[in-house]
Structure 1
Amino acid sequence: MRLRKLALLLAVVGLVCLPAPVYLPALAGATSPPPQTSQSYRAETVSLANESDIETIVSRHGRTVSISVHQISHRYSAGEYRAPNETRETLAAAMRNGTARTASAGARADLQAIARNNTYVHDAYGERQQYYRFSVEENGSVVTARNATLQRVANATVERGAYRYENLSPGARETVDRILRNSSDEDFGYRPRVNDAFVDRLPALVEKDGTLHSITVYGHVDDFGFGVSLVVGLGVAGVGAVLILVGGVLYAVAWWRE
């Protein structure tokens, strides 16, 4: 009788252990901290007084004040524009000729929306990287584009897009500080957690104590493979299978003896 009870106990414990690969990862996900981002970030000191830094500022962060004509398409805009082809062609014509007109109602609406969010336009895939300051008149039917220096674009980028460290929340400051501390030549950058403050604004320009820092993606990390909890769960499931087998054998022995 005792042997049969032991066999049943082993079988019950084994049955509890078998689904461990399912419930252990779920339990770990519910109790562990949020995962890290797939990107690591590093900060580089930049200055508007340095010509090479000006190019760095514009290339990395100029999107805050400028738009490239290639972005005005169905492929890149995800339906943001009403008439992307006409809008793109009108801007490209203004860049070539200084002025361009459009009769398309959709293009006029697109151009007015673009002008509200951007001061400069350029062609990232053009033969040369030239920026233009553009304006929209006559309800979007007329576009004017004038050459703009990288210095002006960089100045506007810093003025409008740089975050002032002293204006950030304590959590955002902590995230920025951790990136700064892990930005030496010997470091591989810093991977914040996905819910850390300021992560949703990266890459970014941050001005701290009068110094301008360009925070950008340094590398990508793919967290593929089996998690520790899954490996442990598989081991527990294996133990469960053994317990069920042993319990079955003991039950058979007890039945045979009786």
Structure 2
Amino acid sequence: MRLRKLALLLAVVGLVCLPAPVYLPALADATSPPPKVSNSYRAETVSLANQSDIETIVNRHGRSVSISVHQVSQRYSAGEYRAPNETRETLEAAMRNGTARTTAAGAQVDLRAIARNNTYVHDAYGEREQYYRLRVRENGSVVTARNATLQRVANSTVERSAYSYVNLSPAARETVDSILRNSSDGDPGYRPRMNDAFVDRLPALVEKEGTRYSITAYTHVDDFGFGAAFVVGLGVAGVGAVLILVGGAVYAIAWWRE
């Protein structure tokens, strides 16, 4: 009788252990901190008085004030524009000739929206990445594009999108400080968690104590492979299988003795 009880106990424990690869990872996800983002970030100082830094500011952060014409297409806009082809052609004509007109109602709506959100226009895939000051007049039917220097684009980028450190929340400051502390030569950068403050604004320009920093992604991390909880679960499941086999053997011995 005792052997049968022991066999039953071993079998029950073994059955509980078998699905461990399923419930242990779920338990770990429920109790562990939020996952980290896929990029690590580093910061470097930039100055509007330095030509190479001006290029860095425009290349990394200029999207806040400028749009590339390749984005105005059905392929890239994901339905954002009413008449992407006509709108793009009008912008390209303005960049070539200085002025362009359109009678397409959809393009006029698109052009007004683009001008509201962007001060400049450029072609990221052109022979040279010249920026143009964008203006839309006459209810969207007339577009003008005048050459603009990188200095002007960089100035506008800083004015519109640079964050002042003193105006950030304490949690956002903590994220920025963590990035700054891990931005020295040889540092791998800082990889924040997905729910950390300020993560949704990265990459970003931040001004702290008179110094301007460009914060951008430094490395990309792919969290592939099995988690530790899953590996442990496999081991527990293996133990469970052994317990079931042993329990079966004990039950057979008990039955044979009777």
Partner AA of 1:195 in structure 2: N
Partner of 1:29: 29
SS in 2 for 1:216: strand
Partner of 1:116: 116
Superposed CA deviations along residues 189-216 of structure 1, whole A, max 9, x for unmatched, are 1100011000000000000011000000
Q: How many residues align?
A: 258
- Equivalent residues in 2 for 1:1-258 (5 A)? 1-258=1-258
Superposed CA deviations along residues 99-150 of structure 1, whole A, max 9, x for unmatched, are 0000111100000000000000000011111100011011100001111110
Percent of pairs with identical residues: 85
Superposed CA deviations along residues 65-112 of structure 1, whole A, max 9, x for unmatched, are 000000101111111001000000000000110100001111000000
- Give the C-alpha shift of residue 186 in structure 1: 1.4
Give the distance between the partners of 1:257 and 1:43, measured in 2 at CA.
75
Partner AA of 2:146 in structure 1: R
SS in 2 for 1:225: coil
Give the distance between the partners of 2:165 and 2:204, measured in 1 at CA.
12
Partner AA of 1:235 in structure 2: G
Give the distance between the partners of 2:140 and 2:47, measured in 1 at CA.
36
Question: How much is the aligned-residue C-alpha RMSD, in angstroms?
Answer: 0.5
- Give the C-alpha shift of residue 175 in structure 1: 0.3
Superposed CA deviations along residues 8-43 of structure 1, whole A, max 9, x for unmatched, are 000000000000000000000000001111101000
Give the distance between the partners of 1:140 and 1:21, measured in 2 at CA.
60
Partner AA of 1:111 in structure 2: L
Q: Give ranges in structure 2 of 5+ residues lacking alignment.
A: none
Q: Give ranges in structure 1 of 5+ residues lacking alignment.
A: none
